[in-house]
A and B are shown apart, each in its own frame.
Chain A
Amino acid sequence: MGWKSEKVRVNILEHELVPRHEVLSAEEVVELLRRLGIRPEQLPWIRASDPVARELGVKPGDIVRIIRKSPVAGESIAYRFVISG
């Protein structure tokens, strides 16, 4: 939300180079962490100040799922743990 003017504000989530981001529900979080056998901070991190995280409105402690197009696997899924900063 660095833009002051409403007119030029763009939703970056709709940009074609930004992969799909979604916030995980509490059940999904539990399932994921159980599957990987890790604590949330052992996932890769994303800062809450990251433009995409701000646009999504996530808080530190949330986990974000990123669904990307992959040249080798068609679709690849990654997770990010939101940290403050």
Chain B
Amino acid sequence: MRGEVAVSEEKVVKGIKFGLLSPELIRKISVTAIVTADVYDEDGLPSEGGIMDPRLGVIEPGQKCVTCGNSIVACPGHFGHLELARPVIHVGFVKHIYDILRATCRHCGRLKIPEEELNRYFDLLKRLEGRWPLLARGLTDYVRRKAMKAMECPHCKSRQFKIKLEKPTSFLEEGPGGSRKLWPTDIRARLERVDNRDLKLMGHDPEFARPEWMVITVLPVPPISVRPSILLETGIRSEDDLTHKLVDIIRTNDRLRESINAGAPEVIIEDLWDLFQYHITTYFDNEVPGVPPAKHRSGRALRTLAQRLRGKEGRFRGNLSGKRVDFSARTVISPDPNLSINEVGVPEEVAKTLTIPERVTPWNIDELRTHVLNGPYRHPGANYVIDPSGRRIDLRYIKDLKAIAENLKPGYIIERHLKDGDVVLFNRQPSLHRMSIMAHIVRILPGRTFRLHLAVCPPYNADFDGDEMNLHVPQSDEARAEARVLLLVQEHILSPRYGGPTIGGIQDYISGAYLLSSKATLLTKEQVSELLAGSGYEGPIPEPVVLSPKVLWSGKQIISLILPPDFNFRGKANMSAGPLRCDDYECFWDSYVVVKRGKLLMGVLDKKTLGSQQPESMLHWITKEYGNSFGRKFMDNAFKMFLRFVEMRGFTMALDDVKPPAKAVEEINAVVEDSKKKVAELIEQYNEGKLEPIPGRTMDESLEIRIMEVLADARDNAGEIATKYLDPFNNVFIMARTGARGNVLNMTQMAALLGQQSVRGERIRRGYDGRTLPHFKPGDVGPEARGFVRNSFVGGLSPIELFFHAAGGREGLVDTAVRTSQSGYMQRRLVNALQDLRVDYDLTVRTPSNSVVQLIYGDDGVDPGKSSYGNAVNIDRIIERVVGWKL
């Protein structure tokens, strides 16, 4: 360029065009013809003109490519080609060949439609193309179908015969003298005759895909880099499946050629030809229906071209849409309530492997020097140093770290260990959610597990029964900034699905909040100090509520200290149900929460106010009105306080908590006996034919429904009795009422009885003919024989009851297994359909081609994540905030 500054030309990909390789093109891109089936000669070197010919590309590292002169990293590999003795059909195009054969004349090769009609269609096609691709396709389909119907060629007037496709690759022509096989040579001759314009009308692009190219005469032989051989430990070479298949093809090709040259009888040649077709078919696709898959010597089916691309582990889904990545780690997770919800605990061992490239500047040079001095094996160290010329120094092999550290200057890049305060992405599969991948701030901790705060378990759907999670380290400043601003856990407290909190209190946090906020809780100065210290509160302690005989504070006072001073809230507690229900602030049971000007005036805190996934809760309004950062701090502090209180008070569950007193057991027994009697009566009525049927049901069905009703009532009544006799302040009851864990049904099943077990919504009746187990008489429809469990978990199940319980439990497991696979596939399809849609600045929903999908997003343009449970504004809440409170 006449000594001017070299300007590299910018090239932009405008589009991708797919086409077929013509025989000429295959020969042109080929560096060598493959002429021998021998892979290696006696010396173990690849044979010239064989399938491993060195001209096809470099095999061993250090060699230079004979064809392009590059080393193994840069040489892309080169194609060879194989001249086929006889042409064969390409399996992938059988359908197209079949269509073209049927639509064109067997004699002159024209589309079997009169000339003037053809012209008309062609003009129409020209107009539809480009602007109406869908309609153009419809037209070509129509033309093709119409041409197939003609039994006489409108151009040369020759008679046409029906052509049958004998799956997978044979064609038969049913002429007047019986049907005749069309050999690939015949087919190729016919396809060659087809006119270019006629092809366009059939939806083909003859410039890039002439139909005769679908019948292979020259086979491209892929480079060795596509089918590398593996050197086993024993020193034996193991060839790739594709190489094996290619050897088969070459052998058969040679045999076929020799037979033809020797003038062998036609039958023998035809048999060989079919075998040749089989080898080439399975070379392309080893899962063609109707073709026995080509097997390895061990009996394993070969993984040929189509298998490499297709399916979940194929090239597209396995290697292009999803890849294995560097700078990632995976281990078991365990809980740590002392972390912030924004943090993740990372084992030192992991931190010493994962690195962050940091550029040396005058401001960080001292710190980075200490990292380099620590080297790769001491924690806040570094693994690599990259000097300004791009040379990579591996600190593992450097004896004199001091020299390297002193030598550091701005411009160097240090790949330092992960340390406290770095951002990382944390993920748990299945990633069904935006919240399945969130950014956390690193905390290096001893141990070998990732540690996370319990409040972030709900969005990840994680527990600690052996779950593992993945961690990724963003490598660029841009990625790190994005992670901090958009992906940090606190930015995901409010769900994009409905605007409520996804992160919040669970289990012991809720029990703790309830116990602390309960009216009965009075705290000494020492206790108050401990709680406030635990929550990180720094400020004055309010006036105590009780002065004598001892100064005591109420739990509500202490909670109020960490609420924002201008916060107003009112709402029902989770407890507010059944006999403890309160709908307004005049509440005897303390189940109506009132916060005014940052003071918790009444009500207990439980799942409804603090729980995760609870919309319009206290936590929701705090995060929404005071910001994500404040919401996070509130959770960090408040949850620590609640846990501290649970530890202080002690919280456990014992057998006594669910063991009903003798009197309750008596009453429960009476209820059960009574129900059994009722069932017996029903059965008697049924036997006598006196049972009143339920409208629309048969007698049998009516009996079943009646019995189920009676037994369901029995369980409910027994449960009520049991809960009545249990101490309302026992630990199990507290957990059930506050929503911390379990529900009343669980308690009933522990204390009173399990009740009816069911499979598919019916009483259990599968098993033997007419009975569930050999312990019963055939035809017994009584409660015991059909899976009614009258014992409780505390009392213990009889063997038969245990069996029924297991049968019911098994159904649940099967259901979950089936549901996950079905919903997984549904999700995949939905995501594939919707992933490229976007909401534009004018609030329209558009596709990447700017087509409109919705005129305004969701009919109202509201972002559900910023809404209040789907509504753009929650007027009640605004009034509450502004006015404060009525009264």
Measured CB to CB, the residues of A under 8 A from B are: 36-38, 41-44, 70, 72-73, 76-79, 83-85
The interface residues of chain B lying within 8 Å CB-to-CB of A44 are: 851-853
Contact A43 B852 (CB under 8 A): yes
Q: A38-B852, A41-B131, A84-B135 are in contact. Are A72 and B844 (CB under 8 A)?
A: no
Smallest CB gap from A43: residue in B:
B852
Q: Bits for B860-872, please: 1 = Cβ < 8 Å to A, else 0.
A: 1010000000100
Give the nearest-CB partner of B862 in chain A. Answer: A72
**Cα distance A37–B862 in the bound complex, in angstroms:** 22
A63 to B849, CA, bound (A): 20
Residue of A nearest to B858 (CB): A72
How many Å from the CB of B582 to the closest CB on chain A? 31
Cα A78 to Cα B845 in complex, Å, equals 12
A36 engages B852 (CB within 8 Å)? yes
Interface centre among B842, B852, B856, B858 (most CB of A within 10 A): B852
Inter-subunit contact B138/A85 (CB<8 Å): yes
How close is A54's CB to chain B, nearest CB, in angstroms? 19
A36-B844, A83-B135 as given contacts; A78 in contact with B855, CB under 8 Å? yes
Residues B859 and A73 in contact, CB atoms below 8 Å apart: yes
Residues of A within 8 A of B319 (CB): none
Closest A residue by C-beta to B861? A73
Provide the bound-state CA to CA distance between A73 and B870, in Å.
Answer: 11
In the complex, which residues of chain A have a beta carbon less than 8 angstroms from the beta carbon of B856? 73, 76
Most buried by B among A37, A38, A72, A84: A72
* A84 and B139 alpha carbons, distance in the complex (Å): 12
Question: Interface readout for B328-354 with A: 1 if CB under 8 Å, 0 if not?
Answer: 000000000000000000000000000
Complex: A14 Cα to B855 Cα, angstroms: 25
Of all chain B residues, the one with the shortest Cβ separation from A45 is B134
Contact of B850 with A by CB under 8 A = yes
Which residues in A have their C-beta under 8 angstroms from that of B844?
A: 36
- Closest Cβ of chain B to A62, distance in Å, is 16
Which residues of the partner chain A approach B131 to less than 8 Å between Cβ atoms? 41
Shortest 4 CB-CB contacts between residues of A and residues of B = A73-B859, A42-B851, A76-B859, A73-B860
Residues in chain A near residue B860, CB distance under 8 A:
70, 72-73
CB distance from B859 to the nearest CB of A (A): 4
A36-B844, A85-B138 known; A72-B859 Cβ under 8 A = yes
A44 to B846, CA, bound (A): 11
B40 within 8 A of A: no
What chain A residues lie within 8 Å of B851 (beta carbons)? 38, 41-44
Evaluate contact between A42 and B850: CB separation under 8 angstroms: yes
- In the bound complex, CA of A37 to CA of B858 (Å): 20
Q: Give residues 819-858 of B contacting A (CB, 8 Å).
A: 842, 844, 849-856, 858
Closest to B872 in A: A72
Q: Which residues of B contact A36 (CB under 8 A)?
A: 842, 844, 852, 855
Considering the complex, give the chain B residue whose CB is closest to the CB of A42. Answer: B851
Minimum Cβ distance to chain A for residue B437 (Å): 29
Known: A36-B844, A83-B135, A85-B138. A42 touches B849 (CB 8 A): yes
Chain A residue at minimum C-beta to C-beta distance from B138: A85
Rounded to whole Å, the gap between the CB of B843 and the closest CB of chain A is 11
**Closest beta carbon of chain A to B258's beta carbon, Å:** 57
Residues of B within 8 A of A77 (CB): 855
Min distance, Cβ A64 to any Cβ of chain B, angstroms: 13
Counting CB contacts under 8 A, is B132 at the interface?
yes
Would A70 and B859 be within 8 Å (CB), given that A83-B135, A84-B135 are in contact? Answer: yes
List the B side residues contacting A85 at CB < 8 Å. 135, 138
Per the bound structure, the CA–CA distance linking A10 and B481 in Å amounts to 62
Measured in the bound complex, the distance between the Cα atoms of B851 and A36 in whole Å is 9
A79 near B855: Cβ-Cβ < 8 Å: yes
Closest to B842 in A: A36
Residues of chain B within 8 A (CB-CB) of A76 are 855-856, 859
Chain A min CB distance to B462 (Å): 33
Question: Which residue on chain A has the smallest CB distance to residue B853?
Answer: A44
Chain B residues with Cβ under 8 A from A37's Cβ?
Answer: 850
Q: A44-B852, A72-B870 are in contact. List 15 more A-B contacts (CB 8 A).
A: A36-B852, A36-B855, A38-B851, A41-B851, A42-B850, A42-B852, A43-B852, A70-B860, A72-B860, A73-B859, A73-B860, A76-B855, A76-B856, A76-B859, A78-B855
Some 30 contacts from A to B, beta carbons below 8 A apart, are: A36-B852, A37-B850, A38-B850, A38-B851, A41-B131, A41-B132, A42-B849, A42-B851, A42-B852, A43-B851, A43-B852, A44-B851, A44-B852, A44-B853, A70-B859, A70-B860, A72-B860, A72-B870, A73-B856, A73-B860, A76-B855, A76-B856, A76-B859, A77-B855, A78-B854, A78-B855, A83-B135, A84-B135, A85-B135, A85-B138
Q: Which residue of A lies closest to B851 (CB)?
A: A42
Q: In the complex the two chains form, what is the Cα distance from A20 to B130 in whole Å?
A: 33
CA distance A36 to B135 in the complex (A): 24
Chain B residues positioned under 8 Å from A83 (CB to CB)? 135
Give the docked Cα–Cα distance between A38 and B855 (Å): 12
Alpha-carbon separation in the docked complex, A72 to B849 (Å): 28
A59 smallest CB distance to B (angstroms):
15
- Closest chain A CB from B138 CB (angstroms): 7
What's the Cα separation between A42 and B842 when bound, in Å? 16
A79 to B852, CA, bound (A): 9
Report the bound CA distance from A72 to B870 in whole Å.
8
Which residues on the B side are within 8 Å of A43 (C-beta)?
851-852
- Residues of A contacting B138 with CB < 8 Å? 85
Chain A residue at smallest Cβ distance from B867: A72
Give Cα A6 to B650, complex, Å: 81
Chain A: minimal CB distance from B212 (Å): 34
A70 CB contacts on chain B under 8 angstroms: 859-860
How many angstroms between the C-alpha atoms of A41 and B860 in the bound complex? 24
How far is B132's CA from A83's CA once the two chains are assembled, in angstroms? 10
Q: Mark B651-681, 1 if CB is under 8 A from A, else 0.
A: 0000000000000000000000000000000
From B854, which residue of chain A is reached at the shortest CB distance?
A78
Q: Shortest CB–CB separation between residue A42 and chain B, in angstroms?
A: 4
Give A77's nearest chain B residue, CB to CB: B855
Residues of B within 8 A of A78 (CB): 854-855
A35 CA / B858 CA spacing, docked (Å): 19
Whole-angstrom CA separation of A14 from B858 in the bound complex: 26
C-alpha gap A77/B854 in the complex (Å):
9
Chain B residue at minimum C-beta to C-beta distance from A35? B842
Q: Taking the nearest CB of chain B, how far is it from the CB of A70, in angstroms? A: 4
Interface residues of B in 151-166 (CB under 8 A from A): none
CA–CA, A44 to B854, complex, Å?
Answer: 9
Contacts of A72 in B (CB 8 A): 858-860, 862, 870
Distance between Cα atoms of A83 and B849 in the complex (Å): 19
